[in-house]
Structure 1
């Protein structure tokens, strides 16, 4: 989607706040001993209360209102009977629509005490996302996003999952540009047009390179197996940088 009118930006900000607040409330609700289905139920109730519709459920018939991935699960985890424990890394990905506008956000949260290296990985995963967001500006190369994140990853001895990309969003959950690398690339010659709506969502890892399908047809795992974190915002490109529409408020 390309934003051309103020009311379009306003619509994105409305759904952006809804998904951001839903994710944050879910994260604050996490307690060791609860199941991912119980956590998803909290998210579903919040979305419904705000008049929003789960995007993965409506667009792809995903078996849950939100995606919840724990530890070795790096994305698209199905909410179910898995019990959350202290020391876990829990990724919550919330995307939804309202009044024809879509927004998408995600983050990895620590439950209780985790290993120091995982705490650092989480902090650096968020930094990697922010570094990518700073590259979003009208008329700049799309490849700048992945190249900047890639420099950060190399400098700090991280790897990036290279088949889970950022994407256009706005009038549907996934739209043009359909694959925006969050890793270094030389082949992408596209430029960011003013008003472009996209996600920035690097998957930062301590060794993982690829996302591999699991047995359930949805959940993705790291290959080679390694800790992975993901942080994601939906942003709008302007001449002065990115407007982040998925801030809580």
Structure 2
């Protein structure tokens, strides 16, 4: 059996007088797609801040394969809520940015990124600027920039939250197909129940502040899922909504 890729144990975090996280524990096994789901302001993104080192926990442990998480956090590739593309850089150079930050030369970074444009549905747009692309294409470019870094785990912070409903649904299905092909280890932050059910192997539902894990849902269904119209997936979606609306039940 593969070791746990990531384990958070009894994490607590307070900002001033506000207790944000209260005794959060969860695991992200190797090769799984795991979502943290909760209402806006519940502290979901704070968990990513702890993982990326933007802030430190007040208590608890963060373990990678049973060892304390390294301070340099090179195990994570992070995709923020917005695409964060630089408007003055062409798409090819936007996609290489993460590699360049790691110290990879520009020519080598381009050689690694260019073959992936077709797989990500961006062939022919390598020399376009971000303003010339649709929202969905920009998000695919942002994900390409993230995964090409070849880090062990992807951290996705509501990556489709700013898209319109149709584009968001299209991007969710595209991501499901890509994940099935590559089997990345993913931790997704979202407040979209349907998105979590469509994409995830397991879902942690958080209460409002201070955030606690109200329930963990396992979804032993094949990927990619074409939708949530099946009775089994619909039942899980209903259970998750019930947990969000009645976290003490």
TM-score calculated relative to the size of structure 1:
0.33
Higher helix share: 2
Tell which has more relative contact order, 1 or 2 (C-alpha 8 A, sep 6+): 2
Larger Rg: 2
TM-score calculated relative to the size of structure 2:
0.33
